[in-house]
């Protein structure tokens, strides 16, 4: 199957929270909010067109944290693929794709609508969040609190979740969907990881490619 990812439109958070918006303005001088609509590329039977950029974990450019190799190796040992039934060899390399003017900085994992989304590692739920682009999202921290993990386009959340809740690796946290700007005919999980210096600031960090960590 040929994989073609179309251009995305807007990359800034939607501003449900003024704090997030102002953080965005401060933290990423390279962020460009494109008002132009994305080029239309109608999907065909053999083309996967993903128009989302989900929701980006913003770069903290004042003091960008960089994940050390030993930190990444330690995280990788704790990770499970966050969509039930998906094997490592089935994952698509979508981290470096350009979506609009910006790198995607996340992994798109296509799956049938309603497939359970699993917590990729143990840790803590930082924020249940909704935005125009990411739809229903979960921001979580790993147990070392070095990393923020983002799950987007959820169809719905698992019952009983709340901000601050402890998460176990493999726990069902939601279900694959197309909320936000995911194409309605291409349900997928938008999954991002970022090195953080303060996971209470769950919206920012330095993006890390999840793919090699999940394929170890």
Give the integer Cα–Cα distance in Å for 123 and 117: 15
Determine which residue in the list 27, 51, 52, 196 makes contact with Zn ion, applying CB under 5 A. Answer: 52
Residue 108 in the binding site for Zn ion (CB under 5 A): yes
Contact 106, 54 (CB under 8 A): yes
Residue 204 in the binding site for Zn ion (CB under 5 A): no
| # of chain residues touching Zn ion (CB under 5 A) | 5
Determine which residue in the list 60, 190, 195, 214 makes contact with Zn ion, applying CB under 5 A. Answer: 190
User: With left for phi above 0 and alpha for psi between -120 and 50, is residue 181 left, alpha or beta?
Assistant: alpha
Per CB under 5 A, the segment of 137-145, 167-175, 182-190, 207-215 that binds Zn ion is 182-190
Residue 54 in the binding site for Zn ion (CB under 5 A): yes
Give the integer Cα–Cα distance in Å for 62 and 84: 37
CB of 52 to Zn ion, least distance (A): 5
Measured from the CB atom, the residue of 93 and 198 that comes closer to Zn ion is: 93
Residue 55 in the binding site for Zn ion (CB under 5 A): no
- Chain Cα centroid distance, residue 20: 16
Contact 5, 43 (CB under 8 A): no
Give the integer Cα–Cα distance in Å for 144 and 154: 25
Per CB under 5 A, the segment of 16-24, 105-113, 119-127, 143-151 that binds Zn ion is 105-113
Residues that bind Zn ion (CB under 5 A): 52, 54, 106, 108, 190
């Amino acid at each position: 199957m040929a994989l073609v990812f179309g251009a995305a439109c807007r990359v800034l958070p939607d501003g449900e929270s003024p704090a997030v918006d102002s953080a965005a303005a401060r933290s990423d001088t390279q962020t460009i909010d494109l008002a132009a609509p994305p080029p239309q590329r109608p999907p065909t039977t053999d083309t996967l067109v993903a128009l989302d950029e989900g929701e980006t974990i913003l770069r903290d450019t004042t003091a960008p944290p960089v994940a050390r190799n030993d930190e990444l190796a330690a995280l990788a040992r704790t990770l499970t693929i966050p969509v039930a039934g998906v094997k490592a060899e089935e994952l698509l390399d979508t981290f470096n794709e350009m979506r609009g003017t910006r790198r995607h900085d996340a992994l798109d994992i296509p799956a049938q609508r309603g497939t359970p989304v699993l917590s990729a590692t143990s840790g803590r739920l930082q924020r249940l969040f909704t935005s125009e682009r990411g739809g229903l999202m979960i921001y979580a921290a790993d147990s070392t609190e070095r990393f923020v993990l983002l799950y987007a386009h959820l169809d719905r959340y698992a019952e009983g979740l709340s901000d601050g809740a402890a998460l176990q690796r493999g726990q069902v946290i939601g279900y694959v969907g197309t909320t936000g700007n995911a194409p309605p005919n291409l349900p997928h999980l938008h999954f991002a990881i970022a090195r953080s210096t303060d996971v209470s600031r769950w919206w920012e960090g330095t993006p890390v490619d999840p793919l090699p960590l999940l394929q170890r």
